Structure 1
Amino acid sequence: MDAFGDLFRGMRARGSLFGNSTLSPPWALHFVDGAPLTLCTVLGGSGWIVPEHRPPERLRAGETVVVRGPAPFTFVDEVGTRAVPVPCGEHCATPDQGGTRHRIGWNRNCGGSDDADGGDADGSDDVDGSGDGTTTLIVGAYPVRGEVNRRLLEALPVVLRAAPGGGADAILGHLATEVATDTPGQQVVLDRLLDWMLVCAVREYFDRPGGTPPPWYAAQRDPVVGEALRLLHAEPSAPWTVSSIAGRTGVSRSTLAKRFVDLVGEPPLTYLTRWRMTLAADLLVERDTATVAAVAHAVGYSDPFAFSAAFKRIRGVSPSGHRRGVTPVPARPLRT
């Protein structure tokens, strides 16, 4: 696993967090439950994403946005469309229907309805939404479970746009085909396609000219620092030293140290310690029966006391306090 791929660990679309809608104007969908990440892809037609306290953004066929929560946002046919909410039921997908509770349909004066099964109000299936004024929207909501995923959130803007023409284009065809059919295993296929779409959208955002990806992402392209990052993420519990990392990357200790700081912004062992504590924070919660010593060993510490000291220095709370759900104080920077 590389530094980028590691951040998607455990992030999966689920059947209860997926919905698709074919909408006839005027319409509005209000996303209110504060999902940490929501991916919206327009297969046909168009609409406007209206984030809270941010300007609206046009979304056309083939475009995808990833919206970072927890603030609510709205997807409407036209800016200014006003509607009143309808109760969940026939107008609102729920988890047992393969939809998501955070997606609420609004249909005041609407010519159609928000159909949880993806069909038009007249019972037809117009998946591409072309030629009749309808819009077909695919939505995937992603829970963020733990500190590893949270590191990804911190690197993303509130609204991330992925325009047509990128690596996600091939997925759109698969999505449209799958939505148009009702076959065994459909939900599993759709969920995995959304996962693929999410990774492609984030990668395209980080790679675009003039973008501001996290330093560690850009550093992965460097032959020396990129290899060092791959080693640290592949074997975070190994007894790394700057010399051993340098030996594995084929450069001197001083060369590695300088290039790592120049590209990543901190020394290699500082980066490693922060990553280990991120992993440990999740292990402490995921494995609530594991001892602190066991978690320490899992992230490369033979001495649980040294691990606890490092954890509190980085996270601002003791391992036991983190496990109990104590809110950490702002962590002090690691001294190097």
Structure 2
Amino acid sequence: MDVFGDLFRGVRAHGSLFGSSALSPPWALHFVDGAPLTLCTVLGGAGWIVPEHGPPEPLRERDTVVVRGPKTFTFVDEVGTRAEPVACGELCAAPEEGGTRHRRGWTDGGAAATLITGAYPVRGEISRRLLDALPVVLRVDAGGTGDAVLDHLAAEAAVDTPGQQVVLDRLLDWMLVCTLREWFDRPGGEPPAWWAAQRDPVIGHALRLLHAEPAAPWTVAALADRTGVSRSTLAKRFADLVGEPPLTYLTRWRMALAADLLLERDTATVADIAHEVGYADPFGFSAAFKRVRGTNPSDFRQHAGSRG
């Protein structure tokens, strides 16, 4: 598993709200759910994404934007529109229609724009590391790898067939992956360090090893041996490209894994979780967890579980 794939695994569409809205001006759709991630694409026409706090972002035909919550945002025909905002959220969903969770569309025979949206839940601490790498609003211009996905989304949304929600979920995942890849790779962009580091033949290999075998008894020497370079070369190159030493990265990765396991496996003991992420001693694990997370594993489980 590569770093991006690992971080993306909790950002998946599972019964996510999906919408296809045909709009004629003036319009103002206020997305009030504050979803962790919302993907928006205009199939035809144009409009503006207006975040709750931040400058408006134009959305032209086949452009795609991803909006990071929890703040709300509005899709308008033009900045300063005279339209009264229409709240779009859970109450707009119509799961009884075909068994899918479409948002109700606002349709007009003279529609000037068709907006496709997908609201994503984000599960777990692992995927929060992906969200932390994103701005509140990011936009990818039309003409990229996601264009082919849009055609499939439009076709699937136009019919009501068994398994439609599964198809829409997978298409939304595909679209989101294409969008994030292009945004990270945009000319002049500043992607997170781990994104660029994945492509280095040595450090990319090292990152894949740490993600594939987080519980292994890693040392810098062992990692250097597996990647075919000297210990000093690995340590310097890793720090230069990733921004921290390899074992510091490993500890933070293990603690993210542990945080999710503590919530997913409520019958597992702290010792069980410690062993699964590479610690033979639960006391050493608890000390590392508190150092990274600011609280011990038992308190984290109790407080995070009560919030959920």
TM-score, with length taken from structure 2: 0.92
Match of 1:266 in 2: 244
Give the residue type in structure 2 aligned to 1:172. Answer: L
User: Does residue 120 in structure 1 map to residue 98 in structure 2?
Assistant: no
Match of 1:186 in 2: 164
Match of 1:107 in 2: none
C-alpha displacement at 1:95, in angstroms? 4.4
**Cα distance per residue 1:91-150 (max 9 Å; x no partner):** 9334444447xx7xxxxxxxxxxxx2x58345xxxxxxxxx5421111111112211111
Instruction: State which of 218, 236, 241 in structure 1 corresponds to 2:214.
Output: 236
After TM superposition, the structure 1 stretch with the greater mean CA deviation from structure 2, 17-26 or 56-65, is 17-26
Match of 2:50 in 1: 50
Q: Specify the SS of the correspondent of 1:228.
A: helix
C-alpha displacement at 1:82, in angstroms? 3.3
C-alpha displacement at 1:246, in angstroms? 0.7
Residues 17 and 95 in structure 1, CA contact (< 8 A), matched pair in contact too: no
Residues 43 and 114 in structure 2, CA contact (< 8 A), matched pair in contact too: yes
C-alpha displacement at 1:87, in angstroms? 7.8
Match of 1:166 in 2: 144
Q: Specify the SS of the correspondent of 1:197.
A: helix
Cα distance in 2 for partners of 1:216, 1:68 equals 20
Match of 2:125 in 1: 147
Cα distance in 2 for partners of 1:207, 1:307 equals 36
Instruction: State which of 208, 212, 224 in structure 1 corresponds to 2:186.
Output: 208
Residues 16 and 94 in structure 1, CA contact (< 8 A), matched pair in contact too: no
Give the residue type in structure 2 aligned to 1:3. Answer: V
Match of 1:66 in 2: 66
Give the residue type in structure 1 aligned to 2:36. Answer: P
Give the residue type in structure 1 aligned to 2:287. Answer: A
Residues 16 and 96 in structure 1, CA contact (< 8 A), matched pair in contact too: no
- Number of aligned residues: 302
Cα distance in 1 for partners of 2:14, 2:47 equals 25
Give the residue type in structure 1 aligned to 2:223. Answer: I
**Cα distance per residue 1:241-294 (max 9 Å; x no partner):** 111111110111111111001111111111000000011011111111110001
C-alpha displacement at 1:15, in angstroms? 2.9
Match of 1:80 in 2: 80
Instruction: State which of 308, 317, 324 in structure 1 corresponds to 2:302.
Output: 324
Residues 28 and 84 in structure 2, CA contact (< 8 A), matched pair in contact too: no
TM-score, with length taken from structure 1: 0.85
Cα distance in 1 for partners of 2:9, 2:245 equals 24
Match of 1:284 in 2: 262
Match of 2:31 in 1: 31
**Structure 1 unmatched runs, 5+:** 104-115, 123-131, 328-336
Residues 31 and 88 in structure 2, CA contact (< 8 A), matched pair in contact too: no
Cα distance in 2 for partners of 1:180, 1:154 equals 35
Displacement over 3 Å in runs of 4+: 82-89, 94-100, 118-122
C-alpha displacement at 1:194, in angstroms? 0.6
Match of 1:224 in 2: 202
Q: Specify the SS of the correspondent of 2:8.
A: coil
Residues 147 and 281 in structure 1, CA contact (< 8 A), matched pair in contact too: yes
User: Does residue 300 in structure 1 map to residue 287 in structure 2?
Assistant: no
User: Does residue 253 in structure 1 map to residue 231 in structure 2?
Assistant: yes
Structure with the largest fraction of helix: 2
Q: Specify the SS of the correspondent of 2:50.
A: strand
C-alpha displacement at 1:200, in angstroms? 1.1
C-alpha displacement at 1:85, in angstroms? 5.3
Cα distance in 1 for partners of 2:299, 2:2 equals 30
After TM superposition, the structure 1 stretch with the greater mean CA deviation from structure 2, 140-149 or 78-87, is 78-87
Assess, with a 3 A threshold, how the Cα gap between structure 1 residues 182 and 96 changes in structure 2: closer, same or farther: closer
Residues 28 and 86 in structure 2, CA contact (< 8 A), matched pair in contact too: no
After TM superposition, the structure 1 stretch with the greater mean CA deviation from structure 2, 258-267 or 175-184, is 175-184
When the two chains are superposed, the root-mean-square deviation of aligned CA atoms in Å is 2.1
